[in-house]
């Protein structure tokens, strides 16, 4: 089989809705095989008729065994893993004074610890391709603390950015490239709960999906460590 006939395989967490759903649909459209990690696996409408290239896997980021099970299922069915899109995330809008340890732990569990376990579980497979890709949906909240209410979330997203850099460092010699994707408001359920701005003035998840598809399709010699994208003007983003 020539390299052009190989169907690359991407694992996308939190693919049930929002950004993850759009990323999975875009990757399938661009010829990838997609393995969808969902708390409640349901075949998306865009996947109907493409079941040979779509896998649904029960995945809860709070279950510390879930990543290894998912990787095993993907390898059993497709035999390779080329990219991880660690997208599942939660936001608890509390200041660092209001939040208690349970809030901080909950965000670190889904936003940081689960993506690290996913990279670890898929590591050998990612390295075996010679061009493995790891994307984490971090946030501009991983680059600056925009408001008091975003403070606790920012703790986890700064850590998510650090995780991506740490994976890039660990895997560079083996062809693994890692990117922290850092959006501002994206028109999903998460942003709807946080801002009154109309959805059409926010970054669209379909546009972010195209950006992520581009990032994981770049050659090893075009490593992008961070990608910031914003719907509004800020001093640095
Ligand atoms: N929207 C924004 O403005 C924005 C901006 C910057 C960064 N981000 C980041 O982008 C990512 C996606 O956000 P979104 O806007 O698409 O959010 P969303 O619409 O709220 O969707 C969140 C996704 O994460 C999944 N998820 C949550 N907890 C999970 C868990 N314990 N195990 C497995 N899946 C879980 C959800 O699954 P269920 O359907 O089962 O709940 C859902 O698929 C997140 O990491 C978020 O922090 C979002």
What CATH number is associated with residue 13?
3.40.50.720
- Sort 87 into a burial class: Cβ within 10 Å, 0-12 / 13-18 / 19+: buried
The dihedral built from the CA positions of residue 173, 89, 193 and 162, taken in this order, carries a sign that is negative
- Among 63, 64, 88, 209, the mutation site with the greatest number of ligand 1 atoms within 8 A of its Cβ is 88
Q: How far apart are CA 158 and CA 163, in angstroms?
A: 9
What does each C-alpha distance from 163 to 48, 98, 111, 237 come to in angstroms? Answer: 34, 26, 10, 21
Ligand 1 binding residues, C-beta < 6 A: 13-14, 16-20, 39-40, 59-62, 87-91, 110, 137, 139, 183, 185-186, 188-191
Tell me whether residue 237 is in a domain. Answer: no
d(CA 79, CA 67): 16
Model confidence at 1: pLDDT above 60: no
The number of helix segments (H) and strand segments (E) in the chain equals 7, 7
Let me know if residue 80 belongs to a domain: yes
Closest ligand 1 atom to the C-alpha of 141?
6
Alpha-carbon span 156 to 167, nearest angstrom? 16
Average pLDDT, the chain: 97
236: in domain? no
| Residue whose token pair is 């079941």 | 51
Ligand 1 centroid – CA 150 distance (Å): 15
Domain of residue 93 covers 3-229
What number is the average pLDDT over the span 49-70? 98
Residue 68 lies in a domain: yes
Band of residue 6 on the pLDDT scale cut at 50, 70, 90: confident
pLDDT by residue (tens digit) across 166-216?
A: 999 999 999 999 999 999 999 999 999 999 999 999 999 999 999 999 999
What is the token pair recorded at 161?
């950015």
Residue 214 lies in a domain: yes
19 alpha carbon – ligand 1 mean position (Å): 7
Minimal CA–CA distance to 85: which of 157, 179, 17, 18? Answer: 179
Please tell me the distance from the alpha carbon of residue 229 to that of residue 221, in angstroms, as a whole number. 22
Query: Measured in angstroms, how far is the CA atom of residue 236 from the centroid of ligand 1?
Result: 25
Instruction: Name the residue with the closest Cα to ligand 1, atom 43.
Output: 14
Report which protein residue has its CA nearest ligand 1's atom 45. Answer: 89
- The torsion angle over the Cα atoms of residues 96, 97, 99 and 102, rounded to 10 degrees, is 90
Residue 67 placed within a domain: yes
The whole-model pTM stands at 0.97
CA-nearest residue, atom 31 of ligand 1: 61
11, 15, 16, 19, best to mutate for ligand 1 pocket (most atoms within 8 Å of CB): 19
Whether residue 153 is contained in a domain is answered as: yes
Q: Which candidate in 134, 153, 158, 185 is catalytic? A: 153
**Total structural domains in the chain?**
1
- Closest ligand 1 atom, CA of 203? 3
pLDDT at 106 over 70: yes
**Structure confidence by residue, pLDDT tens digits, 128-144:** 999 999 999 999 999 99
Please identify, by atom number, the ligand 1 atom nearest to the C-alpha of residue 109.
31
With respect to residue 34, please indicate whether it lies within any of the assigned structural domains: yes
**59 catalytic residue (yes or no):** no
Residue 5: predicted pLDDT? 64
Atom of ligand 1 nearest to the CA of 205: 16
pLDDT over 70 percentage in the chain? 98
Place of tokens 């992520």: 212
The DSSP line for 133-187 is: EEEEE--GGGT---SSTTHHHHHHHHHHHHHHHHHHHHHGGGT-EEEEEEES-BT
């Amino acid at each position: 089989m020539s390299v052009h006939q190989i169907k690359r395989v991407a694992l996308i967490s939190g693919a049930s809705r929002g950004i993850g759903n759009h990323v999975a649909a875009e990757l399938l459209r661009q010829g990838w095989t997609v393995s969808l990690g969902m708390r409640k696996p349901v075949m998306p409408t865009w996947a109907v008729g493409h079941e040979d290239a779509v896998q649904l896997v029960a995945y809860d980021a709070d279950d510390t065994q879930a990543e290894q099970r998912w990787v095993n299922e993907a390898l059993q069915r497709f035999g390779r893993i080329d990219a991880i899109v660690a997208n599942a995330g939660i936001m608890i809008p509390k200041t660092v004074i209001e939040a208690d340890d349970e809030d901080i732990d909950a965000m670190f569990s889904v936003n940081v610890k689960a993506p690290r376990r996913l990279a670890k579980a898929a590591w050998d497979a990612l390295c075996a391709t010679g061009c493995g890709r790891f994307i984490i949906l971090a946030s501009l909240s991983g680059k600056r603390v925009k408001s008091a209410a975003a403070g606790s979330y920012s703790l986890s997203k700064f850590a998510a950015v650090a995780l991506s850099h740490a994976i890039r460092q660990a895997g560079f010699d083996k062809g693994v490239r890692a990117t922290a994707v850092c959006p501002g408001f994206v028109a999903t359920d998460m942003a709807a709960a946080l801002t009154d701005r109309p959805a059409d003035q926010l970054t669209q998840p379909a546009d972010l999906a195209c950006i992520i598809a581009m990032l994981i399709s770049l050659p090893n010699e075009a490593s992008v460590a961070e990608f910031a994208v914003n719907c509004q003007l800020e001093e640095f983003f």
